[in-house]
Each structure stands twice: as C-alpha cells, then as structure tokens.
Amino acid sequence: MGGGARQVTDGRSKVSAAPDGVLVRAAVEADLAAIHAIECESFGDPWALEGFRDLLDHPRAKMEVAVNADGELMGYAVAWYVADESEIANIAVAPSARLKGVGALLLDRILRAAAEFGAQTVFLEVRESNEAARKLYEARGFEVAGKRTKYYRKPDEDALIMRRKL
Ligand SMILES: CC(C)(COP(=O)(O)OP(=O)(O)OC[C@H]1O[C@@H](n2cnc3c(N)ncnc32)[C@H](O)[C@@H]1OP(=O)(O)O)[C@@H](O)C(=O)NCCC(=O)NCCS
C-alpha cells in the first residue's frame, strides 16, 4: 500500500484503515461535478454526468465518495445491490490522490455495505490490462471468474469478471 493507509486483516483479505483525514460518505448532488471530473480523467469512455445524477435516488444503487480533511473529493464508488448479489459498477480515485489507500478505503466500504445488505457475492468487471485495479481487487479477495470478450470500447478490450464471496 502506498502513502498513508494502514492495513489490518479481517481474516480473509486486507482491510484499510483510513488514510489520515479521509472519510467516506454518501454522494450528494453537490459532488456530481467533481465526480464527473475524476471520471473523465480516469476513463477513455466516461459515464455522462446525468448517469451519475440518476444514481443519487436510485433504490438499488449506492454512490459513495471519499473526501479529504479540506472537503475535497478524492474518489468515488458506485455499487448495485440486487437480491443476494452486489456489483461494483464504478470506482475511481483522482490521479493526484492515487496509491494512498483511497481506492482500498472505498472498496472496503462497498464490501461492508454489501455484507450488511445480505449479499453473498460481489462481482465486478475490469479491463484485462488494468493492473492497478486488478491489484486492488486481488488484495481484497476477488478472484477471476470469467471473461467478456471485447466488452470495453475506447479502446476495445476484454473484461475480466471478478468475484468475491462474502
Ligand atoms: C484502481 C484505482 C481506483 C486504485 O485506487 P488507489 O487509491 O490508487 O488504490 P490504493 O492506493 O487504495 O491501492 C490499493 C492496492 O492496489 C495496489 N495498486 C493501486 N494502484 C496500483 C498500481 N498503479 N500498480 C500496482 N499496484 C497498485 C496498491 O499497491 C494496493 O495494494 P496493497 O493493498 O497490496 O498495498 C485507481 O488507480 C484509479 O482510479 N484508476 C483509474 C480508474 C479505474 O481504473 N478504476 C477501476 C475500474 S475497474
């Protein structure tokens, strides 16, 4: 783990203590512009701003943000909760805030929320070449469960399906 995050274990995988001063809370309307700015810096095929807005009141989605002590938005995560499954639909950290444990903090929050919701399994898709994200997920107990050929655009690439049982 780079930067300020400390690690403990839950017996199955790593869990992050918060990097100093960073907290995770539910996203609100006022966060949308900063979320979308990070989205555009992070992905070649970013979600539209309206897509994030629609999630604010969605009964089966949760959008969480990580903010620093000055209230600046450092990252966000979106997850779906349906029946006994949860899916991580999006997670990104501002380029200047990476490798400090923020992504792990957001992921740990989603895993806790999924367990509280009653999910048995958490899924996600990740570009095969996305080493940073794959390291993050593997460190949290996710395993490759399959592949979707040419799933991504800009650029075209296969998706790995990763799964963690709770
Ligand atoms: C993937 C991403 C969210 C990781 O966020 P982050 O805050 O930098 O990650 P963390 O500092 O919490 O690191 C978590 C773990 O991943 C590893 N990791 C993160 N980035 C890494 C990199 N570039 N290379 C190697 N390992 C990396 C860390 O070393 C750490 O491992 P450890 O727990 O074994 O020490 C961030 O790189 C990002 O926003 N990328 C662009 C968007 C994206 O690809 N999202 C995922 C879509 S599936």
Q: Could you tell me if residue 158 is left (phi over 0), alpha (psi between -120 and 50 degrees) or otherwise beta?
A: beta
User: What pLDDT does residue 7 have?
Assistant: 53
User: What pLDDT does residue 15 have?
Assistant: 59
**Tens of pLDDT, residue by residue, the chain (166 residues):** 334 455 545 555 565 667 888 999 999 999 999 999 999 999 999 999 999 999 998 999 999 999 999 999 999 999 999 989 999 999 999 999 999 999 999 999 999 999 999 999 999 999 999 999 999 999 999 999 999 999 999 899 999 999 999 9
Which ligand 1 atom lies nearest to the CA of residue 124?
Answer: 48
Cα–Cα–Cα angle for 147, 152, 112, rounded to 5 degrees: 65
Helix 131-139 and helix 102-117, axial crossing angle in degrees, nearest 10: 50
Secondary structure (DSSP) of 48-66:
PHHHHHHHTT-TTEEEEEE
Question: If you ran DSSP here, which 8-state letter would residue 18 be given?
Answer: P
Q: 6-120 belongs to which CATH class?
A: alpha beta
- Ligand 1, CB within 6 Å, residue ranges: 1-2, 14, 42, 91-93, 98-104, 126, 130-133, 135-136, 139
User: What pLDDT does residue 20 have?
Assistant: 83
User: What pLDDT does residue 2 have?
Assistant: 37
d(CA 119, CA 38): 28
Cα–Cα–Cα angle for 145, 149, 155, rounded to 5 degrees: 120
d(CA 151, CA 5): 33
User: What pLDDT does residue 1 have?
Assistant: 36
Q: Report the Cα 15 to chain-centroid distance in Å.
A: 14
User: What pLDDT does residue 133 have?
Assistant: 98
pTM (2 d.p.):
0.92
User: What pLDDT does residue 19 have?
Assistant: 81
What residue's CA is closest to ligand 1, atom 25?
132
